[in-house]
Amino acid sequence: MAWTKYQLFLAGLMLVTGSINTLSAKWADRFKAEGCGGSEKHNFQHPFLQAVGMFLGEFSCLAAFYLLRCRASRRSDSSVDPQQPFNPLLFLPPALCDMTGTSIMYVALNMTSASSFQMLRGSVIIFTGLFSVAFLGRRLAPSQWLGILATIVGLVVVGLADLLSKHSSEHKLSEVITGDLLIIMAQIIVAIQMVLEEKFVYKHNVHPLRAVGTEGLFGFVILLLLLVPMYYIPAGSLSGNPQGTLEDALDAFCQIGRQPLIALALLGNISSIAFFNFAGISVTKELSATTRMVLDSLRTVVIWAVSLALGWENFHPLQILGFLILLMGTALYNGLHYPLLACLSRCRHSAQESERERLLGNSRTPINEAS
C-alpha cells in the first residue's frame, strides 16, 4: 500500500528532527567562546544545561497533548484521554532514570563523535532484553537472543573503529574510550527506564505524548534545581568549565552571550526533540512500530554522513561493518525479519505457481489435434 502525503511528511519529519537533535548538540559542543570574568576561549561543554534544554523540549509535548485533547473534545473523540485515572508520580522513577541517562550521554557526546554516539545507543537492546527477562518474566524468542548477540558483535566492531581511527586534538584516545563506555553505561539506565515504564505506567493506557511530557516536566524541574549544587561540586578532569565544577550555568550563559550561534544550536536541540517525539508517536500510529524502528536506524546514517561532510570526524570502513551488524541486531530483536521472510515465501510460492501453470499449459493438447 502506497504512503499518503501525510505519512511521508511524518516519516521525513521524524528522520530530519531526529538527526538534528544529535547534530545540534554536537554543533554546540564544538563552539569556543569566552566565559564569565574575561576567561579564555574554551569549548562549550555544559552537558547538564543541555540536558535541561532537552527536557524542556520533552515538556512541550505536554502542551501538544492538551491541544490535541482540546481538538478531540470538540469532535467527541476520546482517543487522547486515558481510559482510567493514574497518579502522575508514577512517572517520577522513569523520569529520574531519563534524567541520569540523558545527562551521562551529553557528557559522553563531548568526548566522542556524533556517529559513534548514535550507533552505541543501539546497545540499549541488550540491557532491555536482559532486564525484561529478569524483572518482567518475559521469554525472548531465539531471534531476539540472536539480535542481542549481533548487537554485542556490532558494538565491538564500532569500538574497534574508534580505537583505530585517527584522533584529533579535540578528542584524545582516552577521551573517546571514556565517552564510548559512558554511552553504554547510560543505556543500562535507559533500559531500566523502559522496564519501569512497561511495568508501572503503560498498564494505565496513558497517551504517549502525555507520558513524554510528564517525564519531561519532572526531569526539567529536578535537573534545573540540581544546577545550583552542581555549580559548587568539583569535577576535576571531567569538568569542561574554567571553574572546574560539575556544571557552571553562568559560564554557559556568558558563552552564549558572546557567541549567539550557540543559542541557535541549543534551540535546534530543544525544538527537534519535541518534534521528534511527536513524529515518532504519529509514525507508530499512522504506519507501524517497525517503520519507526527503521527510520530511527536511518538517522544514524544521516548523522554519520553529515558529520563526515562537515569534517567533524574521519572515515573508517569498520564503522560501516559495525553499523550493518547493529542494524541486523536491531531488526532481529524487533522481529523485522518476519515480514521479510513472509514476503520471500509468497514470492517463491507465486513463482512456483507460475512455473506449474506454464508447464501445464504447454502439456495441454487441443482436441481437434488429438483426433
Tens digit of each residue's pLDDT (9 = 90 or more) over 245-300: 999 999 999 999 999 999 999 999 999 998 998 888 788 778 776 677 778 888 88
- pLDDT of amino acid 44: 93
- pLDDT of amino acid 224: 96
How does residue 344 score in pLDDT terms, banded at 50, 70 and 90? low
- pLDDT of amino acid 194: 87
Backbone angles phi, psi at 216, to 5 degrees: -65, -40
How does residue 122 score in pLDDT terms, banded at 50, 70 and 90? confident
pLDDT digits (tens, 9 = 90+) for 50-74: 999 999 999 999 988 888 888 877 7
Reduced to 3 states (helix: H, G, I; strand: E, B; else coil), residue 241 is coil
Alpha helices in 199-245 (DSSP H): 208-230
Residues 15 and 129: their CA atoms lie apart, in Å, by: 25
If you average pLDDT over each of 161-170, 182-191, 205-214, which comes out highest? 182-191
- pLDDT of amino acid 291: 78
Q: How many CA atoms lie within 13 A of 369 on its CB side?
A: 4
C-alpha distances in angstroms, 81 versus 73, 94, 105, 164?
A: 10, 21, 33, 52
Structural contact between residues 183 and 115, judged by C-beta atoms closer than 8 angstroms: no
- pLDDT of amino acid 367: 47
Residues 299 and 115: their CA atoms lie apart, in Å, by: 10
pTM of the model: 0.83
